[in-house]
Amino acid sequence: MSQTTVSLVLSGKAPGRVSSATADAVRAAARELGYRPNAAARALRSGTASAVGLVVRDVTHPFFGRTLRGAQQAASEAGHVVVLIQDDYAGGGGDSSVQGLSEGVIDGFLFFAAKVPRSLREPGGRPVVIVEYEQSRMPFVRLDSEGGTAAAMEHLHALGHRRIGHFRSSAGGQTFGRRHDGWAAHLRAHGEDPDEQVTGFSAFDATSSIAAARELLQHPDRPTAFLCDDDLLAAGMVAAANELGIDVPGGVAVVGFDDLDLARLTSPPLTTVRFDPEALGAAAFELLHARLQGKRPKNRVLPSELVVRGSTAG
């Protein structure tokens, strides 16, 4: 029995080229001998490894876990594997894991809210899809932050809130820029000056967000409501308010983003702009997958949905 025949059978290219009798024999023998094809050899020969790299800044943000799950699921359905890459290349600059991997074992990259290094943008670089970030001429998948922000602001407006603060992510990034722009636009549209509102920044962890929120809540011109860039920040604000004896939503109304599990665990639970992180991850993989097949898929913007709970609705 020749190598060719075996290869044909085991890579599913048998029909029409190998008799079904031999095909069965091959499969039986393979099972019996515990044969496993060598992926490195296959990758070397065929130039494709069925693996995508996922480059990420913060693995620990709850939103990311769900995006990862979506991407991983879509990839595994397509017979691909996800390689996790820590976004440390930004620091070093030179020889990075991203570069080291780009030949041979990784077919393409998903960048999660991270900048794409120049080496991958040059001709000959592997295909890339960016998640939650836009860069000129790079395909992307992102969330509809504009729509979500508008819905949140209108909700607060309808409840009578006019002076609305913004509790911002210190992480930066386009997503948060969009939220800030939407917030400012809404205020301007209703005759308020965004520059006169109370705003503050925090990182995505409990200690920072509670501390920052405490300051915002003790501001002499405390607004009646806060738009928070994220549920983690919103939860910090609710915790700080409870601690300070400020009623939520009576004393201050709070809106977050993402509808993390956390949003239902605060007291009161959070009104929040929900996205579908699994869909985001899956869409990202699908775009990359299409590109790997030489297609030119369209960029995607995934919708948002406002979920109203106790932190605004009382």
Binding site for a copy of itself (CB under 8 A): 34, 36-44, 49, 51, 54, 59-62, 64-66, 68-69, 72-73, 76, 81-86, 88, 97, 99-105, 119, 122, 124, 205-207, 210, 232, 235-236, 238-239, 242-243, 261-267, 269
- Check residue 16 for interaction with DNA (CB under 7 A): yes
- How near is the Cβ of 174 to a copy of itself at its closest, in Å? 23
- Check residue 97 for interaction with DNA (CB under 7 A): no
- Residue closer to a copy of itself (CB basis): 194 or 269: 269
- Check residue 17 for interaction with DNA (CB under 7 A): yes
Please tell me the number of Cα atoms within 13 Å of 75 on its side-chain side. 28
- Residue closer to a copy of itself (CB basis): 69 or 115: 69
Q: Is the peptide bond before 249 cis (omega within 30 degrees of 0)?
A: yes
Stretch that binds DNA, among 9-17, 191-199, 253-261, 281-289 (CB under 7 A): 9-17
- Check residue 76 for interaction with DNA (CB under 7 A): no
Stretch that binds DNA, among 38-46, 111-119, 227-235, 294-302 (CB under 7 A): 38-46
**Contact partners, residue 154, CB within 8 Å, separation at least 6:** 186
Report the partner that residue 247 touches, choosing among DNA, a copy of itself, none (CB closer than 5 to 8 A by kind): none
- How near is the Cβ of 49 to DNA at its closest, in Å? 12
The closest of 142, 62, 154, 157 to 110, measured between CA atoms, is 142
- How near is the Cβ of 126 to DNA at its closest, in Å? 14
Phi, psi of 202 (to 5 degrees): -155, 155
Report the partner that residue 300 touches, choosing among DNA, a copy of itself, none (CB closer than 5 to 8 A by kind): none
253 touches 283 (CB < 8 A):
no
- Check residue 224 for interaction with DNA (CB under 7 A): no
* Window 103 to 162, contacts with DNA (CB under 7 A): 103
Helix axes 277-292, 62-77, angle to 10 degrees: 40
- Check residue 37 for interaction with DNA (CB under 7 A): yes
Report the partner that residue 218 touches, choosing among DNA, a copy of itself, none (CB closer than 5 to 8 A by kind): none
- Check residue 10 for interaction with DNA (CB under 7 A): yes
- Residue closer to DNA (CB basis): 4 or 267: 4
- How near is the Cβ of 98 to DNA at its closest, in Å? 17
Binding site for DNA (CB under 7 A): 1-5, 7-8, 10-11, 13, 16-19, 21-22, 36-38, 41-42, 44-46, 103
